[in-house]
Structure 1
Amino acid sequence: RHLGLETANHYQKQGYEILKKSTDERIKQIPKSLAYVSADLFHDYLHDMKIIQRFALLNRKAMMNEIVKGMKLKVADSFSTIHNYIDTENMILRKGAVSAQKGERFLIPINMRDGSLVCVGKGNPEWNYSAPHGAGRLMSRTQAKSELTLSQYKKTMEGIYTTCVNKDTLDECPLAYKPVEEIIKNITDTAEVTDLIKPIYNFKAAE
Structure 2
Amino acid sequence: MSQQRARHRAQRTRLTDHKTPYARQSSNPDASYLGDVTAFQPIADLMTEESTVNSVWCNILSTYYFPFPEYIIKPEARLGSSGHRADLLVTRSRDSKVVMIIEGKKAGGAQATWDKSVKQSNGYFNPINKLGVGASRVFGMAAIGRKVAFVAPNDDGAESVLWGIKVQRGRPMSFRGFKTLDIVEDSGEIHALLTHISECAKDV
TM over 0.5: no
More helix by share: 1
More strand by share: 2
Of structures 1 and 2, the larger Rg is shown by 1
